[in-house]
């Protein structure tokens, strides 16, 4: 088999990243984009964990047709039954059963013997097999488990009906040579291993998740479990884009392919970053803001003469345009629509009208509008489609000898304008207090981050905030050349998400 199966767990392990909660509709939106990306297996969630996760997995199973939809389950009857209930309407359903295997987990967490774990593994795989022919099994913490015991478990679950055997480096402990030896030992010591797919799932606690995954592939693994932008528990998972583009760029070394449409990588990365609120670091490989930017004079000279001198990948191969069309206040609707299409955005007429107006307003403030400005505008437009309250006006008075004062005007759900004002410790605090006087939804601000989207003194500033209400977190983003206005937009975005979630729960 010269193709690597890409198993994406952004919606399950990725969502386990602290602060990365997604709504049901946001999960479906990501799942549809993963399908466009060409993902072979989408791990949609963990149905037994909550009613919301069950509903999300069930919805994804109904909507997704091109990818296998997988549900995770503990190795117990109730979890497996619940997993099947969630995915039974999928065109291609898979149940993924997991159970700890390392002595550390057995002694301190499960308090069970190796013999008990072996029996449970066998029985629960057999139970899942009654529902579907596609059953995956993971001996959790495999990289800290005695290889001979791993071999024993794998042999047992193959006999019970498992078709994919996943080897997790659950805590990111393995070194590439060690994990490669473990994979090779499995092929050499487990009977009937040629009848199943061997998979690998690596965490990034030591920054080795991608290196470990690639070494496992080199030693014979033909499924790799990964996430968009490498998000996930603790330090995250193996980065999908890095693994896929390594296999593509170094096909001369690996001689392996995937089903991934790499031109969708950047679009998918932006969507996941937008919905989770996790900013992609500028120097992130493949999809970071600096991945295809050159500042050194020597590098610039080489790229101008021949891109291959300093670019081992064509940026267009991951969905980043190789050239930058500069837009400004004299640009027409057609040029803007063409640029949006090149960046991967197709808007309905109403959304395009709003985005074009925003472009004109921004162009009056900036001499040049870059691709990153456009992406920020579109993200802003997509965020405001389902507003409950709309920010119509914000005005602030502050200074080193003044008490910060803010006046805001919101348009409510009935179209009525409502205005109020308040004082605060600073301009942003005053704005948020004034907004709260109108919206009247109890919440606590837990995170406030400001970053520049583009360069220069006229740069767009983006604000990311998180608020908490009744123990649930909500992310908000806002962008503007005025950082105070961006802060107000971010707060309104988070409040609108909170209000939409409350309405959905009532319904």
pLDDT in tens, 202-220: 999 999 999 999 999 999 9
Q: Is the pLDDT of residue 310 over 90?
A: no
Beta carbons within 8 Å of 336's beta carbon, 6+ residues apart: 327, 355, 356, 359
The token duo for 174 is: 């393995």
Q: 148: which DSSP letter?
A: H
Beta carbons within 8 Å of 334's beta carbon, 6+ residues apart: none
pLDDT given for residue 312 in this prediction: 84
Rounded to two decimals, the pTM is 0.73
Mean pLDDT of 132-155: 97
* Most confident region among 246-260, 363-377, 401-415, 452-466 by mean pLDDT: 246-260
Distance CA 247, CA 377 (A): 34
Mean pLDDT of 418-447: 94
User: Which is it for strands 41-45 and 5-8: parallel, antiparallel or unpaired?
Assistant: parallel
pLDDT given for residue 366 in this prediction: 67
Which of residues 298 and 64 earns the better pLDDT score?
Answer: 64
Give the residue extent of every domain in the chain.
5-276, 292-321, 390-506
Q: Considering Cα of 239, then 240, then 241, then 245, what sign does the dihedral take?
A: positive
- E strands, 250-389, in order: none
pLDDT given for residue 323 in this prediction: 42
Q: How does DSSP assign 436-458, residue by residue?
A: HHHH----EEEEEEEEESSSSTT
- The mean of the pLDDT values for the chain is 89
Distance CA 302, CA 296 (A): 10
Distance CA 355, CA 363 (A): 12
177 burial (CB, 10 Å; 0-12 / 13-18 / 19+) is: exposed
Mean pLDDT of 64-75: 97
Q: What is the dihedral of CA 410, 414, 417, 418, to 10 degrees?
A: -70
| Nearest one of 77, 78, 60 to 68, comparing CA atoms | 60
Q: Where are the alpha helices (DSSP H) in 147-296?
A: 147-160, 176-189, 209-218, 240-249, 251-254, 265-276
390-506 maps to CATH 3.40.50.620: no
pLDDT given for residue 443 in this prediction: 93
The token duo for 324 is: 């930058």
Beta carbons within 8 Å of 183's beta carbon, 6+ residues apart: 167, 198, 200, 215, 216, 219, 220, 221
pLDDT given for residue 382 in this prediction: 61
Mean pLDDT of 96-101: 96
5-276 maps to CATH 3.20.20.70: yes
Q: Is the pLDDT of residue 297 over 60?
A: no
The packing angle between helices 209-218 and 240-249, to 10°, is 50
For the chain, the straight-line distance linking the first and the last C-alpha, in angstroms and rounded, comes to 48
């Amino acid at each position: 088999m010269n193709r690597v199966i890409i198993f994406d767990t952004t919606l399950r392990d990725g969502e386990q990243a602290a602060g990365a909660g997604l709504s049901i509709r946001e999960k479906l939106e990501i799942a549809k984009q993963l399908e466009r990306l060409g993902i072979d297996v989408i791990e949609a969630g963990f149905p037994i964990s909550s009613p919301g996760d069950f509903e999300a997995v069930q919805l994804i199973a109904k909507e997704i047709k091109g990818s296998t939809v997988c549900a995770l389950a503990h190795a117990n009857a109730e979890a497996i039954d619940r997993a099947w209930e969630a995915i039974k309407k999928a065109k291609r359903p898979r149940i993924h059963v997991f159970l700890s295997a390392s002595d550390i987990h057995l002694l301190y967490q499960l308090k069970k013997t190796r013999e008990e774990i072996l029996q449970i593994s066998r029985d629960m795989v057999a139970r899942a097999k009654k529902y579907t022919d596609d059953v995956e099994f993971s001996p959790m913490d495999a990289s800290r488990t005695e290889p001979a015991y791993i071999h024993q478990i794998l042999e047992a679950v193959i006999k019970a009906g498992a078709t994919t055997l996943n080897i997790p480096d659950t805590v990111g402990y393995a070194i590439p040579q060690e994990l490669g030896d473990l994979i090779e030992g499995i092929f050499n010591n487990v009977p009937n291993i040629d009848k199943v797919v061997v998979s690998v799932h690596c965490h990034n606690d030591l920054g080795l998740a991608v290196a470990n995954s690639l070494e496992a592939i080199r030693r014979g693994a033909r499924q790799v479990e990964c996430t968009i932008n490498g998000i996930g528990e603790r330090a995250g998972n193996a980065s999908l884009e890095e693994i896929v583009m390594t296999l593509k760029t170094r096909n001369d070394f690996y001689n392996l392919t995937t089903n991934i449409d790499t031109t969708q990588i950047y679009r998918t990365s932006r969507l996941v970053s937008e919905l989770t609120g996790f900013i992609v670091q500028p120097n992130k490989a493949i999809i970071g803001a600096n991945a295809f930017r050159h500042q050194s004079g020597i590098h610039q000279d080489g790229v101008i003469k021949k891109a291959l001198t300093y670019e081992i990948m064509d940026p267009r191969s991951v969905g980043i345009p190789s050239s930058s069309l500069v837009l400004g206040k004299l640009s027409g609707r057609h040029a803007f629509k063409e640029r949006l299409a090149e960046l991967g955005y197709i808007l309905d007429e109403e959304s395009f009208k709003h985005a074009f107006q925003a472009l004109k307003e921004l162009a009056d403030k900036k001499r040049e509008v870059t691709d990153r400005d456009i992406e920020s505008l579109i993200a802003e437009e997509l965020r405001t489609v389902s507003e409950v309250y709309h920010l119509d006006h914000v005005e602030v008075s502050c200074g080193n000898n003044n008490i910060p004062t803010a006046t805001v005007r919101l348009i409510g759900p009935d179209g009525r304008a409502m205005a109020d004002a308040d004082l605060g410790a600073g301009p942003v605090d005053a704005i948020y207090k004034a907004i709260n006087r109108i919206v009247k939804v109890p919440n606590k601000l837990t995170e406030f981050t400001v970053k520049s989207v583009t360069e220069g003194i006229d740069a767009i500033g983006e604000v990311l905030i998180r608020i908490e209400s009744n123990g649930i977190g909500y992310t908000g983003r806002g962008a503007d050349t005025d950082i105070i206005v961006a802060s107000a937009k971010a707060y309104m975005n988070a409040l609108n998400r909170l209000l939409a979630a409350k309405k959905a729960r009532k319904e």
